[in-house]
Amino acid sequence: MRAMTLPAPVRIAFAALALGLLGACGVNNVPTLEERAKSAWSEVQNQYQRRADLIPNLVETVKGFAQQEREVLTQVTEARARAGQVQVDASTITDPQKFREYQEAQNQLSGALGRLLATVERYPELKSNANFLALQSQLEGTENRIAVARRDYIETVRAYNTELRTIPGRWIAGFLYPDAKPMETFAATAGADRPPSVKF
C-alpha cells in the first residue's frame, strides 16, 4: 500500500495553520515577557545612572556654601562610589544575591542624599542659589523617574514570573526555554513601613 502524499499547497496551508496555532497558544510569551522585563531593567539602571551623574555637581555646589558639612558630603561621595562598584549585568535580575547588593548600594546612596538635602535646610543662602535649585529640581525629577522605572520593572517581572509559574507557560518554558529563570524584584527599604518622626 502506497503512502498518500498531500499536494504542496495543502502542505503549505497545514504548516501555516500549525505555526499560527503554536503562536496563538503562547509559545512566544516567555521570551517576549523576558525581553520586556530586561528592557524595564535597563531603564531602572538608566535612571540610577542619571542620578549618579548629578551627584558630583550637587556635592560641589553644596561644598561651596557649607564647608563644615564635610562628613555628609563625604558620605554622599562614598555611597556614590560604592553604588558604582556593584557590577551589574543581565544576570543580576536572576541572581538574588547580586540583586540585593545592587539594591542595598542604591538604598545607601538614597539615604546619603536625603541626609545631604536635610543639611541644606541650615543654609538659606544655599537654598536660594540658582545652581543648587536647578540641581535639586533635576534630582527630584530623577527620583520620580526612578520610582516610575522601578514600578514598571516590577510589573513586567510580575508578568514574566507569572508566565513561568502558570500553565501552559510553565510547560512551554520547561520544554522550549529551559534556561528561563524567575527574575528578582525590588523590596521596600527597611523601615519604609514606619512614618518619619516629625519634630517641631
Residues comprising the chain, all counted: 200
The per-residue DSSP string of 152-174 comes to: HHHHHHHHHHHHHHSTTHHHHHH
Q: What percent of the chain has a predicted confidence (pLDDT) above 70? A: 85
Q: What gap in Å lies between CA 41 and CA 156, rounded to an integer?
A: 9
Please determine, for residue 54, whether its predicted confidence score (pLDDT) is greater than 90.
yes
**7 DSSP assignment:** -
Encode burial over 51-84: b for 16+ CB neighbours within 10 A, e otherwise. bbebbeebbebbeeebeebeebbebbbebbebbe
Mean pLDDT over 16-33 rounds to 73
- The reported pTM is 0.81
Q: Give the mean pLDDT of the chain.
A: 87
Q: Report the pLDDT value the prediction gives residue 127, as an integer from 0 to 100.
A: 86
Of residues 8 and 42, more confidence is placed in 42
d(CA 126, CA 65): 6
- Mean of the pLDDT values across residues 31-43? 96
Question: Residue 101, exposed/middle/buried by CB under 10 A (0-12, 13-18, 19+)?
Answer: middle
Say if residue 149's pLDDT is above 70. Answer: yes
